A and B are shown apart, each in its own frame.
Chain A
């Protein structure tokens, strides 16, 4: 499928933003997103090709504006829901719980 991820040869992206001596991860949430994605990959409910496809299914505008580990997170969430390991509702409820500061 030709999609927003198929970037080879596209024009207009401008210069490459090379940070130089960059850290492996740029925020703690990136570490956690990386680790849970790898761990669930090893769990074996899906393969690497399915993981990539899940990331490429994002809305094209979001794909181009989001950061790398956000794509991973989007893909992981999609696979968890599709495989029935987590439901959309329980994820939404947990996010809501976490967003509410403890009394």
Chain B
């Protein structure tokens, strides 16, 4: 298997996509403008910055955080994020003792409204196979090393339930406002294979 085989489909694949799209449009089963809008939405409007806003709000507002941990879909909806593949959300809080990490062993289930579409590695066989059997080794590949006494909980997503990790607020970020905090929240930290960025020390 070549390293980036997804970049080079068989010409046959390109033709089959064109064939299906043109037939579906001719039969009136899909609307070409709706197709362009779907692509634009997931390429430019929905992405990890949505999830980062949720995390930053939870870091700043304890009441919000409690709502988020109790009924994640509703609390995420408060910030205006909802829709496909995020109907039933569960938020997993990282603590000094517990680190959460999310996978979909069967497929590619992922919380679209807060993270956008999943990266290729998340959908790949190595991640799906290994996350549940050797999470520490997987985390190490992502550059994350946790103390041995930190429990790692791996959550296997389903078509019904989608998970978002609430990472721990970085130390040294007490002075930052919600907007600045959201800038520290990486996509990978909300999947549980990364940690939020450390705040940059400001020279005054």
Contacts and interface: CB of A to CB of B under 8 A. Distances in A.
A59 B16 CA distance: 18
B120 A68 contact: yes
A91 B20 contact: yes
A39 B126 contact: no
Q: Which residue, of B13, B43, B124, has the highest number of chain A Cβ atoms within 10 A?
A: B13
A17 B17 contact: no
Contact of A67 (B9, B17, B121, B141): B9
B120 A17 contact: yes
A94 B51 CA distance: 42
Contacts of A43: 29-30
A1 B167 CA distance: 35
A95 interface: yes
Contacts of B126: 13-17
Interface string A14-32: 1111110010111101111
B130 A17 contact: no
B15 A24 contact: no
Contacts of A80: 20, 24
Chain B contact-residue range equals 35 or more
| Chain A interface SS verdict (over half) | helix
A56 B17 CA distance: 19
Given A16-B130, A18-B142, A91-B23, A33 B124 contact: no
A8 to B, nearest CB: 3
Nearest to A90: B23
Nearest to B117: A24
Interface string A47-78: 01100100110000000110111100100110
Given A16-B121, A16-B130, A29-B14, A7 B106 contact: yes
Interface string A67-103: 1111001001100100001100011001100110000
Contacts of B3: 17
Contacts of B132: 8-9
Contacts of B119: 18-19, 22
Nearest to A14: B126
Contact of B42 (A16, A19, A24, A76): A24
B82 interface: no
B125 A18 contact: no
A98 B18 CA distance: 8
Interface of B: 1, 3-7, 9, 12-24, 27, 29-31, 34-36, 38-39, 42-43, 84, 103, 105-108, 116-117, 119-121, 123-133, 138, 141-142, 156, 159
13 contacts: A8-B106, A8-B132, A8-B133, A8-B156, A9-B129, A19-B4, A19-B120, A26-B4, A26-B7, A35-B38, A43-B29, A69-B6, A94-B23
